[in-house]
A = this chain, B = another copy of it.
Amino acid sequence: MKIGVVGAGALGLYYGAKLQRAGEDVKFLLRRDYEAVSRHGLQVYSSDGDFHLPILQGFRQAQEMGAVDLVLVGLKTFANHRLVELVQPLVGRHTAILTLQNGLGNEELLAAAFGPERILGGIAFLCCNRGEPGVVHHLGEGRISLGEFAGGRSERAVRLAALFQQAGVPCSAVADLRKARWEKLVWNVPFNGLCALTGKDVTELLQHSPSREEVAALMREVIAGGNAQGLSEPIGGEAFIEKMIQATEKMDHYRPSMMLDRLEGRPLELEAIYGVPLLKAAERGVTMPRVSLLRALLDLGESAKGGARADGLLAETGTPSTH
């Protein structure tokens, strides 16, 4: 299958490399890694076993890549204002587009530009970062839940899940992508934001009992927002929250992607993880007061940095990236 990776940070490089190693015809839109990859290929250090790809099809311009069967989108959402122009040259008559980006609104953006029938979304549970140019460190996890933007468990989604599985990536097709997205937000909203804001990792956060209670309270708000969207079935309540917090306790001193973004001076994915969910909840009459405060506090920190960094960071989005 011809695959084009747009947004080849840690996530895009990692999944693209796995697919290429499994025999797929993968092209990468590169920026920071272009030179290094052209000379030495790509080195993946992975908890599942290191591997090296001596030759990668790397491109500096999307226009040179040609149409593909599948566009894999790994762009950080703060660069979404360039998403359509980057994907456009890869889209042919039968091209499907799978976005593995964080949060809400990405499928909608792509659907508005390329038609809803092309669009799939996936939630990646991946801990991965970039080292020096040409090197990716895969620290653990990696599974993907993917589904159709239009809803339902399509044959295409099942085929794509099999594609990833054959490449050694645990992957399942889900019938309700929106539910999967909101479930991921139940984790992302508290941990990404609180860790980015306070500079504490998930372990430090959970060891502080008032913060632990606020994590659970934020989760409750997100669940209420999600369950107002008319999901195929509601997201679980207190048991789901307790399970998620316990799973997070096992992530020893894990630093969520937004915390790393802030530490390394990148923009934050505020719209996808906070802005759009707040809007979608409000449309259904659900307020998420803690989420709203957290978003404002994160945005205040961003506004202090000054605004126009996103362009410069377009393909520099994965150093390190965790999802």
Which residues of chain A have a CB within 8 Å of any CB of chain B? 194, 197-198, 200, 205, 208, 210-211, 213-214, 217-218, 221, 289-290, 292-297, 299-301, 303-304
Contacts and interface: CB of A to CB of B under 8 A. Distances in A.
Given A211-B299, A218-B293, A221-B289, 15 more contacts: A194-B297, A198-B300, A200-B304, A205-B300, A208-B296, A208-B299, A213-B292, A214-B293, A217-B292, A289-B290, A290-B290, A290-B293, A293-B293, A293-B294, A297-B297
A289 B289 CA distance: 6
A67 B137 CA distance: 71
A293 to B, nearest CB: 5
Contacts of A293: 214, 217-218, 290, 293-294
A266 B292 CA distance: 29
Nearest to A210: B296
Q: How many copies, total?
A: 2
Contacts of A297: 194, 197-198, 211, 214, 297
Nearest to A289: B289
A208 B303 CA distance: 8
A218 B218 CA distance: 16
8 contacts: A194-B297, A208-B296, A210-B296, A211-B299, A289-B290, A290-B292, A293-B293, A293-B294
B210 A299 contact: yes
User: Which 3 pairs from chain A and chain B are nearest by CB?
Assistant: A210-B296, A289-B289, A214-B296
A202 to B, nearest CB: 13
B198 A295 contact: no
Contacts of A211: 296-297, 299-300
Contact of A210 (B210, B214, B295): B295
Given A210-B295, A295-B210, A217 B289 contact: yes
A217 B289 CA distance: 8
Among the interface residues A197, A297, A301, which one has the most CB atoms of the partner chain B within 10 A?
Answer: A297
A322 B64 CA distance: 63
Contacts of A303: 208
Nearest to A296: B210
A303 B303 CA distance: 27
A214 to B, nearest CB: 4
Contacts of A290: 289-290, 292-293
Contacts of A197: 297
Contacts of A200: 300, 304
Contacts of A208: 296, 299-300, 303
A210 to B, nearest CB: 4
Nearest to A194: B297
A255 to B, nearest CB: 16
